[in-house]
Amino acid sequence: MISVVLVVQQNESAELARTLQNLVTYAIDGFVVDVTLMHDSLDDTTRLLADEAGCMLRDQNAGLAPVLDEARGDWLLFMDPGSTLEAGWADVVNAHAVADGGAAYFQFAVLDAHSWWRCILMPGTHKSPLARG
């Protein structure tokens, strides 16, 4: 049903492992049908982890077209390494898909009112929405 796409950088094996571990249950259930890692270059540890997990590796410089052509899922889910999905997300997505609700996106239930301050005053502590899960 869903193809997951992750953009991976060098030395992100720990973050990638956390995300892939979170996706295993959904892959067993058949909800996640494939995972593609887009990269510029990978270190040996990250490459081995991707290979062991059965991920497809694609050169980031080739663009998104090859990933879209090879995706087996009906939907694409873009994630950052290190992000995880909370319990119950699959039920919401499934209900939306069954209702033929069209394109969708995830949103935080509670937005941090001070996040823009963090971006300005503490730029190293700010994470992208994908990185925060």
Beta bridge partner(s), residue 59: 39
Separation CA 117–CA 38 (nearest Å): 31
Per-residue confidence band for 119, with pLDDT thresholds at 50, 70 and 90: low
pLDDT tens-digit map of 31-56: 999 999 999 888 889 889 999 999 99
Q: Which two tokens stand for residue 130?
A: 């994908």
pLDDT tens-digit map of 87-111: 888 888 888 878 876 777 766 555 5
**What is the per-residue burial (b if ≥16 Cβ within 10 Å, else e) of 95-116?**
eeeeeeeeeeebeeeeeeeeee
For residue 60, the SS3 value is: helix
Q: Which two tokens stand for residue 104?
A: 């969708």
Q: Which carries the bigger pLDDT value, residue 14 or residue 123?
A: 14
Which helix (H) or strand (E) segment holds residue 2: the answer is strand 2-8
pLDDT at position 133 over 50: no
